Amino acid sequence: MKKIKNICCLGAGYVGGPTMSVIALKCPDIKVTVVDLNADRIDAWNDDNLENLPVYEPGLAEVVEQARGKNLFFSTDVDGAIAAADMIFIAVNTPTKTYGEGKGMAADLKFVELCARQIASVATNDKIIVEKSTLPVRTAETLQTILDSNGNGVNFEVLSNPEFLAEGTAIEDLFEADRVLIGGKQTPSGQEAIQALVDVYAHWLSPSQILTTNVWSSELSKLTANAFLAQRISSINALSALCEVTEADVDEVAHAIGTDSRIGPKFLKASVGFGGSCFQKDILNLVYLCRYFNLPEVANYWEQVIIMNDHQKYRFAKNIISTLFNTVNGKKIAFLGWAFKKDTNDTRESAAIYVAEYLIEDGAEIHVYDPKVSATKVRADLSYLWELKGLTEDKITKKLAQVFVYDDPMAATHNSHAIAILTEWDEFKTYDWKSIYENMYKPAFVFDGRNILDATVMKSIGFQFKGIGKG
């Protein structure tokens, strides 16, 4: 049975960095090298000051500190790392296509394909290739075709090993995974490859936490898991709209249904809408696949999860505008939070971006504070959205003049007409809301897009307070 001694991972992002750091920590007998084309990202992973790591995750810095330089290395030498490895993880980005066939729906697999081509051209001995990126079902077939075309007699076994970690709890999720999933071919060499990867995870997970399947089930399970999770959020968000017009309370409804053991309590928190790099992209990819395989009803069913999420973001922004007497033109709206969820510096697909866009369109000034997101990032997120919409550079510069970013929540909220809570950072609950109130224009509005503040307390201070799904 093959014993893995040398692992390489292509892609040092939110998945590659944390997963490989944990494998290195838990498997001191394996050398782990994480490579990336982005030299700045690799420099940040190698920074002596652990506060400068490119990914913020609770507990990550401690893991990197223990393993880095011992059996964990970050490098830009992609070819060298591929050549030395027995097992290669592909953890590169697979964003939604922004051009051509499948634009706005299909996963863009160009980065994954480039990895396969590079591995094929560099490898001189047998290797196990592990799909860690989220991929459409049957991608392993494409990878195998590209890898086998190198024609130098090297045997490649392709496994699917999707990642289920959630940002903000990545280290916890990796240490104590509900399960890891490994899919491979049902041939003797496929089974041997599966076992080699099982042995890596068995350094810290029990056999019951390691599931093995055929490769297609594994690939499809990743898209399915994200679709189910996102569907729960869209379901509760859809009902939050009904709660608002019927005086039902969405948190009470969620609690009441969540205590049914068949439904369960998790992922029923109504919000301004889900964000993150995964849910939307993976559901769009699922919808595209269903249409590709001529299953229009199935595609339409899943697409509704995205339609409802877009509606929720729009509904939140529209509610701010109509409550502020039907215009926010020239008004200062403070945004508490920009990240797509708490405990991460990731802003990809964050609801905050879209809510800001609607309000800016109506003439608002947006004053942002997020404990982990920089001003550069906030501006880049909005610029990127406007570029995609085809706005000229001049127009983008003009709109960006309506955006202000602060290091201090008090400065962001000072002299504001309204505060919108876009991320559920714990620190927001601890603020001195009385003095925030005193420094705002009256009536002072708070729109809690995460239902984290106590409505009774906020109203007793004097705020006009609106939560999600509260009558």
Residues making contact with ligand NAD (CB under 6 A): 10-16, 35-38, 41, 78, 91-94, 111, 114-115, 133-134, 163, 165, 167, 277-278
Q: Which does 357 bind (CB under 5 to 8 A by kind): ligand NAD, ligand UDX, none?
A: none
Nearer to ligand UDX, 163 or 357 (CB): 163
Is 348 one of the annotated binding-site residues? Answer: yes
How many other C-beta atoms can be found within 10 angstroms of the C-beta atom of residue 78? 18
316 binds ligand UDX, rule: CB under 6 A: no
Is 167 one of the annotated binding-site residues? Answer: yes
61 binds ligand UDX, rule: CB under 6 A: no
Piece of the chain touching ligand UDX by CB under 6 A; list 58-66, 178-186, 265-273, 406-414: 265-273
Contacting ligand UDX within 381-420 (CB under 6 A): none
User: Mind spelling out the 3-state secondary structure of the chain?
Assistant: CCCCCEEEEECCCCCHHHHHHHHHHHCCCCEEEEECCCHHHHHHHCCCCHHHCCCCCCCHHHHHHHHECCCEEEECCHHHHHHHCCEEEECCCCCECCCCCCCCCCECCHHHHHHHHHHHHHCCCCEEEEECCCCCCCHHHHHHHHHHCCCCCCCEEEEECCCCCCCCCHHHHHHCCCCEEEEECCCHHHHHHHHHHHHHHCCCCCHHHEEEEEHHHHHHHHHHHHHHHHHHHHHHHHHHHHHHHHCCEHHHHHHHHHCCCCCCCCCCCCCCCCCCCCHHHHHHHHHHHHHHCCCHHHHHHHHHHHHHHHHHHHHHHHHHHHHCCCCCCCCEEEEECCCCCCCCCCCCCCHHHHHHHHHHHCCCEEEEECCCCCHHHHHHHHHHHHHHCCCCHHHHHHHHCCEEEECCHHHHHCCCCEEEECCCCHHHHHCCHHHHHHCCCCCCEEEECCCCCCHHHHHHHCCEEEECCEC
Is 92 one of the annotated binding-site residues? Answer: yes
Interatomic CA distance for residues 48 and 65, integer angstroms:
9
88 binds ligand UDX, rule: CB under 6 A: no
What residue type is assigned to position 403 of the chain?
A: V
Does 278 qualify as catalytic in the annotation?
yes
Contacting ligand UDX within 138-167 (CB under 6 A): 163-167
Smallest gap from residue 19 Cβ to ligand NAD (A): 9
What residue type is assigned to position 134 of the chain?
A: T
Is 237 one of the annotated binding-site residues? Answer: no
Interatomic CA distance for residues 275 and 341, integer angstroms:
8
φ/ψ of residue 239, rounded to 5: -75, -25
Smallest gap from residue 303 Cβ to ligand NAD (A): 19
132 binds ligand UDX, rule: CB under 6 A: no
268 binds ligand UDX, rule: CB under 6 A: yes
Nearer to ligand NAD, 16 or 184 (CB): 16
Q: How far is CA 244 from CA 51, 249, 281, 466, in A?
A: 42, 8, 29, 10
To which residue do tokens 């697409």 refer?
303
Of the residues 9, 27, 278, 290, only one is catalytic, namely 278
Contacting ligand UDX within 226-245 (CB under 6 A): 226, 229, 233
Q: Which does 335 bind (CB under 5 to 8 A by kind): ligand NAD, ligand UDX, none?
A: none
Is 442 one of the annotated binding-site residues? Answer: no
What track of x and - describes contact with ligand UDX for positions 335 through 364 (by CB under 6 A)? Answer: -----xx-----------------------
Smallest gap from residue 282 Cβ to ligand UDX (A): 8
First-to-last CA distance in the chain?
62
What residue type is assigned to position 128 of the chain?
A: I
Nearer to ligand NAD, 118 or 235 (CB): 118
Smallest gap from residue 348 Cβ to ligand UDX (A): 9
271 binds ligand UDX, rule: CB under 6 A: yes
Is 230 one of the annotated binding-site residues? Answer: no
Nearer to ligand NAD, 137 or 366 (CB): 137
Nearer to ligand NAD, 183 or 467 (CB): 183
Contacting ligand UDX within 164-203 (CB under 6 A): 164-167
Nearer to ligand UDX, 157 or 424 (CB): 424
Q: Which does 84 bind (CB under 5 to 8 A by kind): ligand NAD, ligand UDX, none?
A: none
Is 215 one of the annotated binding-site residues? Answer: no
The contact set with ligand UDX (CB under 6 A) reads 163-167, 226, 229, 233, 267-269, 271, 274-276, 278-279, 340-341
Per the annotation, binding residues are: 11-16, 36, 41, 92-96, 133-134, 163-167, 222-226, 262, 269-275, 278-281, 340-341, 348, 450
The binding site for NAD(+) consists of 11-16, 36, 41, 92-96, 133-134, 167, 278-281, 348
Catalytic residues, by residue number, are 278
